[in-house]
Amino acid sequence: MTTMSMIKGLNEGLRRVLEDQPKSLVMGEDVGRLGGVFRVTDGLQKDFGSDRIIDTPLAESGIIGTAIGLAMRGYRPICEIQFDGFVYPAFDQLVSQLAKIPNRSGGRIRLPVVVRIPYGGGIGAIEHHSESPEAYFAHTAGLKVVTCSNPADAYWMIQQAAAGDDPVIFFEPKRRYHGKGEVDTEKPGLDLHRARTVREGRTATLIAYGPTVDVAENAAKAAAEEGLDLEVVDLRSLSPIDWEPLFASVRKTGRAVVVHEAPGNVGIGAEVAARLTEECFYSLEAPVLRVTGYDVPYPASRLEDDYLPNLDRVLDAVDRSLEH
């Protein structure tokens, strides 16, 4: 066991991928000499060379298009989109080509491409630097979508994503980058697409992912001081979603609150709420509630604390659920 930040966990995970897979490479804006704007790739170009850690032009569509071509020739690219809001120029390549070519070719062409995207708010950034675009990609058949919430998952999940033969969109919660935790570098964690029960409870279930797992944990700790026993589940995988742990938890507690930073309209929380209602209707004691970002463009940094889900909003939703 060793203590490391999420940035360090990702860096060490990428290092192991590059050591174990000679055809793997990292590409993106400033990932080489600079080591990435968040220093996730720091030191990798020095150790693996500029032919495997590639500084690309400022052209997201070109990054993904080039990665698709490389994958078709047997390479295993790991792309970095520098910020969440920069992914949209690459959207056509991602949803029309990366997601479709394996199916279009009847499985003859595999595209083992990982696309890393730092996402979410909470860092006081300017426009286009605090988006949560995960629902776009979770809605797209042919893409797998995952997100880590702690250093241990960051370390293992990036390796698991890079080991598969399917395209993976890998979301990294940037406001959790510097959070530290224990990482067992010898014992693999859960499978890539498994949900994780972070905290056991019986009063209600809090379902979160990425940056809001910490929010849900803190809400559960605060609720415990008032005698409430909240269960916390980290989705980890957004497509596919590991449904059985969610169903089991809600059948036990009878109540659920879904928490995410992205706007609520047609978000991941809407799908989770719908499926829980379909599968656990006779176990529910109250409607499934959502605590999300608001359905507006992400605000200026001085207002983001009012925009983002926080402990008080989560506990308010729990109180409303318990009123039923």
Catalytic residues: 129
Cα angle 156-157-158, degrees, rounded to a multiple of 5: 95
What number of helices (H) and strands (E) belong to the chain?
12, 14
Longest dimension (CA), the chain: 60
Q: How far is CA 267 from the centre of its chain?
A: 14
DSSP one-letter string for 43-72: THHHHH-TTTEEEPPS-HHHHHHHHHHHHH
Find the DSSP H helices in the chain: 6-20, 44-48, 60-72, 91-92, 101-104, 134-138, 151-163, 212-224, 243-253, 268-280, 304-307, 311-322
Helix, strand, or coil (residue 100): coil
The percent of the chain in helix, strand and coil, each rounded to the nearest 5, is: 40, 20, 40
Q: Which two tokens stand for residue 182?
A: 């224990």
Determine the length of the chain. Answer: 324
2-5/180-183 β-pairing:
antiparallel
Which of these, 122, 158, 127, 151, lies nearest to 2 by C-alpha position?
151
Which two structure tokens, joined as six digits, stand for 162?
Answer: 């890079």
